[in-house]
Structure 1
Amino acid sequence: MQPVSAVAPTDPDDAGQADESIIVTGTRTTGMRAADSPAPIQLLGSEALQRTGSPDLLTSLAQNLPSIQAQAFGSDLQAHNLQLKLRGLSPNHTLILVNGKRRHGTANVSVAGGPYGGSAAPDISFIVPDSIDHVEVLQDGAAAQYGTDAIAGVINFIQKKTDHGISANATGGQYYDEGGETYAIGANIGLAPFDGAFLNISAQKKRKGFSFRGDINPQAVNLLQKYPEIGKLPGYPYTNRIIGDPKIDQTVVNYNAGYEIGGFELYSSGSYGHKTATAYENTRPPTTVVSGAGTKAAGGVAGVPFYPGGFQPQENIQETDYSFTGGIKGSIGKIGFDLASTYGKDFVEVNVLNSANAQLYRDTGFTPTNFHNGDFFATQWSNTLDLTHELDIGLSAPVNIAGGLEFRHETYGIKEGDPASYYGGGAQSFFGYSPNDAGTYKRDNFSQYLDVSARPVVDLLVDAAVRHEHYSDFGDTTVFKLTSRYDFSKAFALRGTVSTGFRAPTLAEGGYSGINVGPSSVSGVLPPASEAAGALGFGGLKPEKSTNFSVGMVFNPVRRLTLTIDAYQITIRDRIMISSSFSGFTGNRCPAGYAGSNAGACLPYDDDRYKIYNQLAVLGAVNGALGGSTSIGSLADATSIPSYVLFDGANRATDGSVAVQSFVNGVKMRTRGVDLMANYSAGLGSMGDVDLTFTANYNANKVLSINALPSALYSSTANPGLTGLIDTGSVVELEHSTPRFRGTFNAFWSWNKFSINARESFYSEVYSLETARSGPDAGKLIKVPVKSAFLTDLEIGYQIFAPLKISIGANNLFNQYPTERSKEFIRNAQLTNGERGYSTSKYPTISPYGINGGYYYARLNFKL
């Protein structure tokens, strides 16, 4: 069964009773049915997840639930840890639970712009799909019930508790056109180690190959005659292979266990996984020029004799992720309790392969080809006590009172890489993390909540929740939620919620640091609360605050038919994003008012044309981040910034640049939308059974205001829009990278040994802005769309004999690709100029259904 108000039943004859399933998410009342939920919640059964044909849990969720969008492509480190967004908000706004317990976040924070920027949400690829009984998706703000991160909603993965049986599956597939060869082997076993106990173990081994969806590299073609070894690079002339999927090899084991003794239940669950992932970075051609104090390059750097044709560097991570939960629950008298402790850790080792440090080679005659660039780590230790008590005060039903305490300790840190990775210009394609970037950040959180649910009359349910939180680094906050539902009859009910929310910045958002020193530039990200960021006027991050409203209806006109419609509005203040890039020096355009020794080399500055922040404060901030003083009066005082970035051999300004970003409280934004779900299941007699589901989401994001720049930064009076805290492109991606409308119709038909699952999805247009390179609008921002599209998924299954079933299928059956970027306004100019960027600009990577086209697969299922 597809996303409905309940879990898919095991027995097809019970399909119409699916909404009788008991839920645990979004309510503190024991035994509540999905059909009676006062808040919008969709449930997804394990079989529906498997029928997507993908061994990737993120993809399976996004294909089934229109309100969830999976990130299609990530640059640099984000390629290895794609995220999901619910209702078009940040991944950080969705709380991930496993068996109702908070899952720890990833150490791999995204430093990209747009809606995924700053994301450090849990990596759900470390949850084995075979371990899942069902998924409960609460599409409602729930910060007052569960705490920070639950502004958009909650996704709760409920794991299997069976104590018998064994199942296994093997899946293989690839993209229609090129790459993405995938195989996955999964298994689940239920055991009863002794009387009253269960142990359920799941494991998955999956491997996925590279894909490539770019174009030829004109730079390589133009340089072939001068450097014939370029022709020997893999894929020539498609030598720049950064656009596509990384290669992934991942092994994960999950367990879930329980033991009933003396009226109590001892329980435990955990996971351990290791991921090796490798992604191509931009190719480096052999076009090195050595001059004076530094090595400068046009379009890339090789500069070492063992790469006569340039090289194709790769970024590699070795990620280890584990978690453990232990607890006891039961009742003492009339008070139910659940006491639990959960510890989780994510560790990411970052490496660069097939690369070089050209400046190290120039200075010493030696460079490694493989580099250890540094490590990230994140931990979370949560301890919770939940209490429930029913109190009869003469209403139509006893009042359910729930309360609890939570203590959480979190850490995040960066460890420096090998010195060769950050020496001089650093390892090509990914500059290593230096001692200036390294650090460890910690905080504690203590919270208390109270939740009261009552039925003043039989048909009216009212639920009120309040939560107080204290953060060791952000102080105190109190948030509220009021939920109500009125059943006019067995067939029709109205429901609504109003709530406030609060999200403290993740430690990764507050602590990430990465300053890259290139052959002609210095750029990167400053920690918001650092002294360097303080030189720009930043004083650290503030928490986000939100207000949520929703109203909806539940309609059950006949048995086996369910219809729900819920409208919502979410307003977020001080939303955290990556800022615009602040430049203190670009080319030979020096800071305004500069009168240093090389002032005569500075060209006149035009703020509207060059769109940079021309203040010495930026140079001082970068200088401080590299270990020098943040107070400088001229370029010559920036002694920690390599001189070859600022001056050439004649002490004149060069074509280098200095620019930085930081995570900031960027915007106030509003999200409005409607969720719709309709499900009908029926028996067809001798023709089997059919289950029909239609789910849809309308979602509109709007940036209401952009926070002001700190006073130390320059703001254009002629055109303030060009010098904003958040750039126009990021604002447009916030508003328009999520489809305004997405609908999915799913039909599952089973008959004797045969089954067919057909899914038709519609995605409305999304778009971003880019600068036109040619045509009448050259130099202006133009719309780059991914036009609306229908995608068809199809799977056919056959039960060979009782334990064994074979399925074949295709996702994106008709091989639909996103709209190509305009050749007339963008790509023709790149091709004419011989730019490497032509190779990476074929498809917009904001595509909500990816850039790889169709995927076909086969799967074997074995079950005893």
Structure 2
Amino acid sequence: MSPLSKAALISLLASTALPTAAMAQDAPAADELPSDIIVTGTRVTGMRAADSAAPVQVVGTQAMQAVGQQDLTQVLAQSLPSLNFQAFGGDTANLTLTAALRGLSPNDTLVLVNGKRRHFTANLAVLGGSPYSGAATTDLSFIPTNAIGRIEILQDGAAAQYGSDAIAGVVNIILKDQSSGGLFTVTGGQYYEGDGETASTALNMGFKLGDRGFVNVTGEYKFHNYTQRGGCDRRYLTLDCKTRTDINPIDAAGVEANPFYPRVNTINGDAKYSLYNFVFNAGYDFSDAVSGYAFGSYGKRKAYAYENYRRATRVSGTTSDGEKVYPLTAGFNPQEHLDEEDFSLTTGLKGAVSGWNWDLSLTYGRDAVALYTIDSANPTLYAQEQSQNADPIGLQRDFYDGTLVNSEWAVEAGVTKDFEVGMAKPLTLALGGQWRKDTYAIQSGEFASYFGGGAQSYPGFAPTDAGSYNRKAWGAYIDVAMDPVEGLHVDLAGRYEHYSDFGKVWNGKATARYDFSPAFGIRGTVSNGFRAPTLAESYYSSVNVGPGSTFGQLPPNSAAAKLLGFSPLKPEKATSFSAGFVAHPLPNLQITLDAYQIKLKKRIVPSAAIFGSLGSSTVSQAVIDALIARGVSLADATSYAGINIFTNGADTRTRGVEATIDYTSDFGGDAKANWTLGFNYNQTKLEKIYPLPAAVVNTAFSQTTLLDPNSIDGLTTATPRVKVIANALFTFGDFSVNLRETLYGVTHQRTSFSGSGYGSPGDGSGYTVLRIGTSVITDLNIGYKITPKIRFDIGANNLLNKKAPTVPLVAHPSGGVRPANGSNVYNPPITFTPWGINGGYYYARATFNF
């Protein structure tokens, strides 16, 4: 092994890193070695992860390279026991998947790039009953793994240090900064089922910028194809996929003529997407005292996700001569299509003067999501147009639904200085401030997309949905780090922020660590924090039209919400405690353990379904009036109509324990083994549920609480309480084998016929528990260096093809059986399965260093 490779391995072992997917590579340049010197969670220069008073894990480039699906969300989920990823999303949430730390909302994790706040996606996840509902955080897919030098994950509340969102922790992505050489990778793979074909290629290169600077650039292209899971559509086919004899003959003929027959309903599966990314990182030393830096990214994504199949008779018209016309004789499979553009740029200056280190930066980020409903139809519009013509006419199939835009400006300034005050080490003082402007806009779609009931599956944004909203915030912080005596480190931080839409917030944090010896130290933190509601949560408005249902997402900061008794969103308030130890009982062994508690007051949660009508019965006239006031047509609401809303609806308490063990074995020569074990346990309990406003309460229909069992479980039990990652990396000569076992604890969620998150008032069916038992997933990567510069890898994620459990079939009050969650597809996968719904995935990768 080369000296540089040995240095990289020693550096990883000395940190609290969890390199759960490490693989041997060619030795990188010295300036891109995975380092145990961290910049996250502390403002002390030269702090090692192993010496941190707060738990920090480091994921290096080797760990990233051994994950089959080269998406940053997948990389983190397969490396960190405390992080879980969203395997499947409904509607447009399937187009932008996300991840969460410590069982909390994805919005409670702050994402930084090179220490600077990264902007949010504009595509809000609206998923009743999902633990990921309301997610409008950073889209990690726009940061290619080839551009990353390392990732530092602070698993501790840090709002006093970084501001809003840092309740569960902080993910700081450090971009590569080498000034020469490069890396080119080509990867291909697919699921064992023969679908979900994936291809990606990425090029990273470093260049000198004159004699005193560098620029590092990365380009990436990725493609992923559809997957389909589950059986046949229960509405038109039997359990064994035979066309039902009791349905309309026109619909029966349409089902059999559909190109996907017999599995005509393709809603359960991955979206198809193509993604282009470009990232750069640059720096230049103007003098020995002043440096400039800049980094940024541009990404372009097109994605497509199928919705429920629509029968042939769903769209019909009558000519002016009275002839009945069905223009879509095979029925149709509508899709939601996203055309997204993501941009970010940070520029800054930093330097030193009179012992003060200073940093001044400007950041702008923007995410624009144009939405379309394609291969669909607007039944109301078509019927009107056909009635004015004697001959059958064509109909519009593709609709522009509107555009969501999120943009953020941030100006940051900070200074730090070390003072000799007679302590064991110099005292570090940091001062700084930040000014931000956030903007969120909804641009309405074309008239045909929202007229009447709108385009089937996803009506466009009507003018009543449209609007542009912004807020300004400024804050100031102070941070003092000191070592009063040898072995004791104390860090005190305080922060004040003022938001134009809800006022001021004060936060503080105290962190301490004491090392009894080089082999053992204890650490702990206490802090309070906050999360400002995203503008998307506050103002997003949309309508979802299903077969027989109409549900509107009501903006909590709207006049209609106020009439129903809901208040504008306020910030979440958090109080956090943690305590743990770091031990080095043997030269090559490190153990960390940290216990934590996070209490959230006024947590922003999605409500359960709040019904306006069920069939011909009125549940809440106020809800019906609110929908009509928003310009929503109820023509399709033959089964039910209602609203969902985000609100400060609950107080929660999350308790957990995180632990890591890292050990290396040297067998002599080039034979080594690196053993790592990561463990996370957390449990979230609801301490308070805020009341449902009186205007929408109806005891006769059991509409009495803000959260139903499904949404309660989405917050508390739909993600695993236990996650364990055991990893073994073996290297011998030019070969490496990486074996990873991930154990997921039990997850469960109650559901009802009316659909996940829609509750079941008045139907008497109760709830069925969807349960996923303890499961172990095996990942394997085998690598071989063909030459010193060329490496080939093959591997599999979920090697043993562990399938997602399916939703059970239960008797329905109206007769027959159907999936317990109301799905239109027999045997659909349980979508909150923590390792995903698609089964085993195999891949091959070629890596070229130069």
From 44, 55, 67, give the equivalent of 2:70.
Answer: 55
Alignment-derived partner of residue 616 in structure 1: 621
The change in CA–CA distance for 1:230 and 1:589 in structure 2 (over 3 A counts) is: closer
Alignment-derived partner of residue 828 in structure 2: 842
What is the distance in 2 between the residues matched to 1:11 and 1:397? 38
Q: CA deviation at 1:581?
A: 2.1
Task: Note the 1:45-444 alignment, pairs <5 A.
Answer: 45-113=60-128, 114-220=130-236, 221-222=243-244, 223=247, 226=250, 227-263=252-288, 264-288=290-314, 305-365=326-386, 367-444=395-472
What is the distance in 2 between the residues matched to 1:134 and 1:789? 29
Q: Out of 754-763 and 282-291, give the one that drifted further.
A: 282-291
What is the distance in 1 between the residues matched to 2:849 and 2:812? 53
Alignment-derived partner of residue 602 in structure 2: 574
- Is residue 94–residue 305 contact of structure 2 (8 Å, CA) maintained in 1? yes
The change in CA–CA distance for 1:521 and 1:73 in structure 2 (over 3 A counts) is: closer
Alignment-derived partner of residue 658 in structure 2: 675
The change in CA–CA distance for 1:473 and 1:460 in structure 2 (over 3 A counts) is: same
Task: Note the 1:463-862 alignment, pairs <5 A.
Answer: 463-516=491-544, 522-590=550-618, 614-626=619-631, 655=638, 657-686=640-669, 688-714=671-697, 716=699, 723-771=704-752, 779-823=765-809, 837-839=823-825, 841-862=827-848
What is the distance in 2 between the residues matched to 1:850 and 1:669? 27
Q: CA deviation at 1:541?
A: 0.9
Secondary structure of the residue aligned to 1:808 is strand
Q: TM-score scaled to structure 2, two decimals?
A: 0.90
What is the distance in 2 between the residues matched to 1:194 and 1:390? 32
- Is residue 259–residue 266 contact of structure 1 (8 Å, CA) maintained in 2? yes
Q: CA deviation at 1:616?
A: 2.8
Q: CA deviation at 1:283?
A: 0.5
Secondary structure of the residue aligned to 1:837 is coil
Q: CA deviation at 1:560?
A: 1.9
- Is residue 252–residue 271 contact of structure 1 (8 Å, CA) maintained in 2? yes
What is the distance in 2 between the residues matched to 1:576 and 1:241? 32
What is the distance in 2 between the residues matched to 1:845 and 1:321? 28
Secondary structure of the residue aligned to 1:583 is strand
The change in CA–CA distance for 1:641 and 1:163 in structure 2 (over 3 A counts) is: closer
Cα displacement string for residues 356-388 of structure 1 (whole angstroms, at most 9, x for unaligned residues): 111101001263101101110000111100110
- Is residue 808–residue 858 contact of structure 1 (8 Å, CA) maintained in 2? yes
Taking only aligned residues, the RMSD between alpha carbons, in angstroms, comes to 2.6
The change in CA–CA distance for 1:581 and 1:218 in structure 2 (over 3 A counts) is: closer
- Is residue 18–residue 662 contact of structure 2 (8 Å, CA) maintained in 1? no
Secondary structure of the residue aligned to 1:712 is helix
Cα displacement string for residues 383-423 of structure 1 (whole angstroms, at most 9, x for unaligned residues): 10011011111111111000101001110011000100001
- Is residue 385–residue 405 contact of structure 1 (8 Å, CA) maintained in 2? yes
Q: 2:686 is aligned with what amino acid?
A: V
Q: CA deviation at 1:822?
A: 2.1
Q: CA deviation at 1:582?
A: 2.0
Structure 2, unaligned runs of 5 or more: 1-8, 237-242, 319-323, 387-393, 755-762
Q: 2:225 is aligned with what amino acid?
A: G
The change in CA–CA distance for 1:7 and 1:853 in structure 2 (over 3 A counts) is: closer
What is the distance in 2 between the residues matched to 1:678 and 1:51? 20
Cα displacement string for residues 542-568 of structure 1 (whole angstroms, at most 9, x for unaligned residues): 111000000000001121211000000
What is the distance in 1 between the residues matched to 2:749 and 2:107? 22
The change in CA–CA distance for 1:455 and 1:514 in structure 2 (over 3 A counts) is: same
- Is residue 210–residue 246 contact of structure 1 (8 Å, CA) maintained in 2? yes
The change in CA–CA distance for 1:556 and 1:832 in structure 2 (over 3 A counts) is: closer
Secondary structure of the residue aligned to 2:78 is helix
Secondary structure of the residue aligned to 2:696 is coil
The change in CA–CA distance for 1:523 and 1:755 in structure 2 (over 3 A counts) is: same
What is the distance in 2 between the residues matched to 1:150 and 1:830? 49
What is the distance in 1 between the residues matched to 2:639 and 2:63? 54
The change in CA–CA distance for 1:752 and 1:431 in structure 2 (over 3 A counts) is: same
What is the distance in 2 between the residues matched to 1:44 and 1:159? 12
Q: CA deviation at 1:35?
A: 1.2
Q: TM-score scaled to structure 1, two decimals?
A: 0.89
Q: Out of 580-589 and 833-842, give the one that drifted further.
A: 833-842
The change in CA–CA distance for 1:231 and 1:475 in structure 2 (over 3 A counts) is: same
Q: CA deviation at 1:819?
A: 2.1
What is the distance in 2 between the residues matched to 1:159 and 1:128? 10
What is the distance in 1 between the residues matched to 2:564 and 2:260? 45
What is the distance in 1 between the residues matched to 2:666 and 2:569? 56
Secondary structure of the residue aligned to 1:244 is coil
What is the distance in 1 between the residues matched to 2:746 and 2:826? 21
What is the distance in 2 between the residues matched to 1:536 and 1:67? 38
- Is residue 382–residue 395 contact of structure 2 (8 Å, CA) maintained in 1? yes
- Is residue 212–residue 284 contact of structure 2 (8 Å, CA) maintained in 1? yes
Cα displacement string for residues 563-616 of structure 1 (whole angstroms, at most 9, x for unaligned residues): 0000000010111111122223332223xxxxxxxxxxxxxxxxxxxxxxx333
What is the distance in 2 between the residues matched to 1:810 and 1:656? 44
Structure 1, unaligned runs of 5 or more: 293-302, 591-613, 627-639, 647-654
Q: CA deviation at 1:497?
A: 0.2
Q: CA deviation at 1:521?
A: 5.2
What is the distance in 2 between the residues matched to 1:800 and 1:19? 24
- Is residue 25–residue 62 contact of structure 2 (8 Å, CA) maintained in 1? no
Question: How many pairs were matched up?
Answer: 801
Give identity over the alignment, percent.
41
Alignment-derived partner of residue 602 in structure 1: none
Q: CA deviation at 1:623?
A: 2.7
What is the distance in 2 between the residues matched to 1:426 and 1:360? 8
Cα displacement string for residues 283-330 of structure 1 (whole angstroms, at most 9, x for unaligned residues): 1012349899xxxxxxxxxx9633102011111100000100000111
Secondary structure of the residue aligned to 1:192 is strand
Secondary structure of the residue aligned to 1:669 is strand
